[in-house]
Amino acid sequence: MNEPLIRRINREQMLWRAVDVERLIEEDHAARAIWELVGRLDLSAFYEAIECSAEEGGRPAFDPRLLISVWIYAYSRGIGSAREVARRCEWEPGFEWLTGCEAVNYHTLASFRVEYRTELDELFTQVLGLVAGPPLRLAEPTHFVRATMNWMPHPWRFHGWAAMPMGSGDFADLKLRFLGLVD
């Protein structure tokens, strides 16, 4: 009896694949909404702190808009660990889209959160203001993200057009969570 010809699976082989980064996630994916949201914020304090330049040289810094977007997306998924965020940047489509499939080291993520604690505190206030404001319109005219921002986990979830009622203690608690100071 003849042995049948079977195509065997070789999981030890290395693969090269072309990836269309724009097609990793849908047009209305939360990562796109977060990218748009962060793009509307005043990030000048983050850019001014970058020390390398074309004139002075040095290794190019990660774009603060990217790092902020990655952190907000991570928090929206309940992830607060820089190591876990770095791991997810290697395989999770939302993170891959944000980073353009580029590796972001966990140390970079953790250091950014620590070094820019004050600026991130101010930024969080802006984020809450935008989320509680009018709808966020994305680049595609058919896609809108309402202020509900359902990508935010409880207790950061907002309902309708206004933020949930919060006392000043609740607001401070949300800021601490955003800055990674409490779980």
pLDDT in tens, 19-77: 899 999 999 999 999 999 999 888 998 999 888 888 888 888 999 999 999 999 998 88
The pair phi, psi for residue 13, each rounded to 5°, is -80, 150
Structure tokens at 179: 């800055």
Q: What is the pLDDT of residues 98-133, one digit of tens each?
A: 999 999 999 999 999 999 988 887 887 777 666 665
The span from the CA of 158 to the CA of 150, in Å, is: 7
Q: Which two structure tokens, joined as six digits, stand for 60?
A: 């190019």
Q: What is the pLDDT of residue 131?
A: 64
Domain ranges for the chain:
27-46+60-178
75 contacts: CB under 8 Å, gap ≥ 6: 152, 153, 156, 177, 178
Angle at 99 between CA 147 and CA 12, to 5 degrees: 130
pTM for this entry: 0.69
Grouping H, G, I as helix, E, B as strand and the rest as coil, residue 45 is: helix
pLDDT-based confidence at residue 7 (cuts at 50, 70, 90): confident
Which alpha helices (DSSP H) does the chain contain, by range?
Answer: 30-39, 44-48, 64-76, 82-88, 93-99, 106-115, 117-132, 168-178
